Copies of this chain bind each other. A is one copy, B any other.
Amino acid sequence: MQLVYKGKTKDVYSLENGNYLLKFKDDVTGENGVFDPGANSVGLSIEGVGRAGLELSQFFFEKIHQAGISTHFVNANLDEQTMEVKPAKVFGKGLEVICRQKAVGSFFRRYGDYIEEASDLPQYVEFTIKDDDRQDPPITKEGLVVLNILSAEQVDRTIELTRQITTIVSDELKAHGLDLYDIKFEFGTLKDSDEVVLIDEISGGNMRVYKDGQYIEPLKLHELLFKN
């Protein structure tokens, strides 16, 4: 097994069977020591956050598979903090897809003149290009096609999958008395295929979850889901 990439919150190793191993770290994105799922840099380390993120990812990937939706997920090893995934190609140099059920975060910062904070949104889907030098610029559906990052069909499929997966995650959280305000995904295509699949992780670091209007930190989210 060989290290092929050191990421902000995960390292990636190649396996002899052709798959990859994602090693979850205890680093989370944020700024000035405050966790922010929308931030672009690693802001702080929280002990146990890697394992918690992996357990949440495993849990949600399995729910998504049960719903008949393909992903890159193969299996997880909680003690090693690793997740085995199929080889996948990201769109362009990486694309983030955000699904918003409530107006918070950067959506509210941008459009606060037109909407009250935490108002309902109809699973509003946004795209941002992963580009640290350019602060992850937002891009429209048409822009993705113009820049040859996705085909028009892949854009539509990505939006459809985003909403389906958001509903699965949201319903699961709701069963625990929790509200999913927004969630961020990455999609790609599996090797030798054009099919759009969910890749990356599905953890507390990728979503904003609230309980009775109070934001729930990633580790607390893990505790509420698995330790009750």
Contacting A110 at CB < 8 Å: which of B110, B113, B122, B137? B137
For A173-216 the 0/1 string (1 means CB < 8 A from B) is 00000000000000000000000000000000000000000000
For A131-169 the 0/1 string (1 means CB < 8 A from B) is 101100111111100111100000000000000000000
18 residue pairs A–B, Cβ–Cβ below 8 Å: A109-B134, A110-B137, A111-B129, A111-B137, A111-B139, A112-B134, A113-B129, A113-B131, A113-B134, A114-B147, A114-B148, A121-B146, A124-B142, A124-B143, A125-B142, A126-B140, A138-B138, A140-B141
Query: Whole-angstrom distance from the CB of A96 to the nearest CB of chain B?
Result: 14
Task: Tell me whether B111 and A147 are in contact (CB under 8 A).
Answer: yes
- Among residues of B, the one whose C-beta sits closest to the C-beta of A136 is B110
Query: A227 an interface residue at 8 Å Cβ cutoff?
Result: no
This protein's copies in its complex: 2
Residues of B within 8 A of A121 (CB): 146
Query: Whole-angstrom distance from the CB of A92 to the nearest CB of chain B?
Result: 6
Contacting A92 at CB < 8 Å: which of B93, B114, B141, B142? B114
Residues of B within 8 A of A93 (CB): 113
Query: A115 an interface residue at 8 Å Cβ cutoff?
Result: yes
Which A residues have a C-beta under 8 Å from some C-beta of B?
A: 92-93, 109-115, 121-122, 124-126, 129, 131, 133-134, 137-143, 146-149
Which residue among A114, A122, A131, A149 has the maximum number of chain B CB atoms within 10 Å of its CB?
Answer: A114
Query: Whole-angstrom distance from the CB of A181 to the nearest CB of chain B?
Result: 15
CA distance A112 to B133 in the complex (A): 10
Residues of B within 8 A of A146 (CB): 121-122, 124
CA distance A134 to B112 in the complex (A): 9
Query: Whole-angstrom distance from the CB of A132 to the nearest CB of chain B?
Result: 10
Residues of B within 8 A of A112 (CB): 134
CA distance A137 to B146 in the complex (A): 21
Contacts A114-B149, A129-B111, A131-B113 given; does A140 touch B140 at CB 8 Å: yes
